[in-house]
Amino acid sequence: MKKFVIVIASFGFIFLTSCKVQKEGIVIMTDHSYKATLLANNKIGIGSPDGLLWHKGKLYFADEGGVALESWNRTEGLKKLADASVGFLSPEDLVIDAQDNIFFTDDDAGGLWEYTADGKLREVAGKDKGLISTEGIAMAKDGSLLVGDGEQHEVFRVTRDGNVSEFLGKEAGITKPESMVFDDQGNLYIADNEDNVLYLLDANRKLHRIIDRNEAFSPETIYYSKGSLYITDSHNCKLYVYTPGEELKTIAAFGGQLKNVQGVTVDDQGNILLSVQSDLKHKVGNIIEISKEETQVAKK
Amino acid sequence: MVLSALMPLFLISSVDRLSDLNDQLLLLLNSAAGRSWLFDSLVAFFLDNDLAKAGVIGCCFLAAWYGGKSSNSTNARRKILITTLVAAVCVITTTKVLSKTIFLPRPEIQSQKIYRLDGDQLVEMKRMPVRFMLDEESQKSYHALLNGDVETNDLGSFPSDHAGFFIAISLGIWLASRRLGWLALGWTAIVILGGKMISAQHTPLDIAAGAGVAIVELSAIQYVLRKRFNGILERLTSLTLRYSALSSAIVFLVAFEVSSTMIHIRAFLGLLAAMRRHVLLGMG
């Protein structure tokens, strides 16, 4: 009997150890005209980025896991622009103006931060001015910044000299303005990933609930490019595209260690770039590129 | 020297051949799906309906529990069945843990265009040309899949927890009573697990692995409990005879849970976890 048990235990041990035990990740393309590639991972030096933005041939990261602001392209590699030593804690989302000044939010340290084109970092406005937990950020036409606050449940307007005023108050009913972006008509899209609603504030300052599907939709980051709004959803692990007047379309679904899709941006060639926080605590992140299959590009 | 050099090649070719065989077997079984609404609805009914699916196993369990011809044989059967329940819990825990660590999406998911993270690149997976069933529920889940609605549970199909759980219970019944055991094993293999493969929810390899876990753990636990904890088992079985009304009620509950793959217990554990989060940790 003892031999029998040993044989069975050995079989069990071999069975368990022969399997490839590791956490894997997948991308399921629901729109088959796209393909997915891994653009970058921790090997290039990033931590676990949240917001990301394509600007003048470079990809900029609000690296929440690595607590840094970084830029990257294939030729120059990763460049750390600023790190935790200057006081920010969890860089969340970012915008860049035409003069290459970078503005970013921080949901732990709060405030609005600026990294100037000449390499200086400053806090434009901090917690003392009511910016407690800053999330989404968008740049208005007049150059002021709109900043969403997840704890105040408001959207503030912040001028370059640090004046803070209310842009959308609590009465607007937006619980967590996680991400914001202007379209080319001057309408402002606002993603609330706590109430799971995508809002649109039109030019007449009227707020519309564009997508409101509760459980099945939770907009994390939104990015507007060439008439379409790209939306990541970290709760439902999806990437969508929304075109006004059309249904919300799923481009891809994510699973395993790639499920936590966060930031989204589009590069000059129209490729969609996504940041994935695989393990924020252990600073594991990936950047995925979703691009059209070559046959589709040729057809175009 | 030559042998050690050839060994990896032999292993790789064996794994490839096994994988091909697994795919071919699955496609053969799955070829029955998507042709007749009636057949698909019947398969789906036995997959989804707990009474139809697992009620038979619960009945076999109860019959084996009460079916001893003497108090000695009843005692012996009950010892085996109590041990089987312990083993079934261990088996379902093992299969759940394994399926969360070994990444293998369900074949129906593998019918889509999928990229899988392999080191530093995303590699397109081989697409499995499975057929989808025509019944209403299967069609709903097929359209949800086309929309990218994939549940986490669907990403780890290896090993099959249904195979592990039901084969452990059925084997336990077989150890207690051969006739009832054959019925339970037959029902498990043909109705429960056959349906899983026809509907492309599991491959034969998933099923075989689940069955392997069940056989290994049931054998080990039967051996250990009966060798080391026979006294406790004796006391438990004599208690079931002394307090037959109470034990009948408990066995009914156990058989009920077996028939529903412990879904109610899992819901109760979920409630306890939520209570811990909300009340003790004050998270909302």
> What CATH number has the domain bearing residue A171?
2.130.10.10
Nearest CB to A27; choose among B122, B209, B220: B122
**Tell me, what's the pLDDT at A19?**
44
State both tokens at A156: 């503030």
Contacts of B276 (CB under 8 A, 6+ apart): none
* Closest chain B residue to A10, measured at CA: B216
Question: How close is the nearest chain A Cα to the Cα of B245, in Å?
Answer: 37
Domain span at A235:
25-299
Confidence class of residue A8 from pLDDT cuts 50, 70 and 90? low
Confidence class of residue A12 from pLDDT cuts 50, 70 and 90? low
**Tell me, what's the pLDDT at A297?**
55
User: Is A6 within the bounds of a domain?
Assistant: no
Q: Chain A residues with CB inside 8 Å of B158's CB?
A: 19
Confidence class of residue A20 from pLDDT cuts 50, 70 and 90? very low
* Alpha-carbon gap, residue A75 to A85, rounded angstroms: 27
User: B27 touching A, CB under 8 A?
Assistant: no
User: Is A111 within the bounds of a domain?
Assistant: yes
User: Is A3 within the bounds of a domain?
Assistant: no
**Tell me, what's the pLDDT at A21?**
40
Substitution target in B14, B115, B215 with the highest count of A β-carbons within 10 Å is B115
* Alpha-carbon gap, residue A179 to A162, rounded angstroms: 21
**φ, ψ at A168 (rounded to 5°):** -130, 115
B105/A24 CB distance under 8 A: no
**Tell me, what's the pLDDT at B105?**
84
**Tell me, what's the pLDDT at B258?**
73
Quick one: which of B72, B88, B145, B160 has its CA closest to B113?
A: B145
**Tell me, what's the pLDDT at B156?**
78
Q: Chain B residues with CB inside 8 Å of A286's CB?
A: 117
Contact A42, A285 (CB under 8 A): yes
Q: Chain A residues with CB inside 8 Å of B102's CB?
A: 19-21
User: Is A157 within the bounds of a domain?
Assistant: yes
**Tell me, what's the pLDDT at B178?**
95
User: Is A139 within the bounds of a domain?
Assistant: yes
User: Is A103 within the bounds of a domain?
Assistant: yes
pLDDT tens for each residue of A69-84: 999 998 999 999 998 8
Q: Average the pLDDT over each of A41-50, A260-269, A276-285, B66-75 and give the range with the smallest value.
A: B66-75
A252/B148 CB distance under 8 A: yes
**Tell me, what's the pLDDT at A145?**
97
Q: Chain B residues with CB inside 8 Å of A234's CB?
A: none
**Tell me, what's the pLDDT at B119?**
87
**Tell me, what's the pLDDT at A296?**
57
State both tokens at A269: 């060639």
Q: Flag residues of chain B having pLDDT under 50.
A: 284
pLDDT at A177 over 70: yes
| Spatial strand order in the sheet of A145-149 | A134-139, A145-149, A154-158, A164-168
pLDDT tens for each residue of A197-229: 999 999 899 999 999 876 789 999 999 999 999
pLDDT at A22 over 90: no
* Closest chain A residue to B144, measured at CA: A30
Question: How close is the nearest chain A Cα to the Cα of B156, in Å?
Answer: 9
**Tell me, what's the pLDDT at A293?**
85
Total structural domains within chain A = 1
- Collapse the DSSP code of A48 into the 3-class scheme (helix H, G, I; strand E, B; otherwise coil) and give the result: coil
Q: Chain B residues with CB inside 8 Å of A29's CB?
A: 112-115
User: B223 touching A, CB under 8 A?
Assistant: yes
Q: Give the CA distances from residue B45 to residues B41, B52, B196, in Å, rounded to whole numbers and listed in that order.
A: 6, 8, 12
User: Is A206 within the bounds of a domain?
Assistant: yes
Confidence class of residue A18 from pLDDT cuts 50, 70 and 90? very low
What are the DSSP calls for B201-212, one per residue? SS-HHHHHHHHH
B219/A8 CB distance under 8 A: yes
pLDDT tens for each residue of A95-152: 999 999 999 999 999 999 999 999 999 999 999 999 999 999 999 999 999 999 999 9
* Closest chain B residue to A25, measured at CA: B117
- Mean pLDDT in chain A? 89
User: B105 touching A, CB under 8 A?
Assistant: yes
**Tell me, what's the pLDDT at B53?**
86
- Mean of pLDDT values over A171-181: 95
- Collapse the DSSP code of A199 into the 3-class scheme (helix H, G, I; strand E, B; otherwise coil) and give the result: strand
The count of other CB atoms within 10 Å of the CB of residue A141 is 7
pLDDT tens for each residue of A227-238: 999 999 999 889
User: Is A13 within the bounds of a domain?
Assistant: no
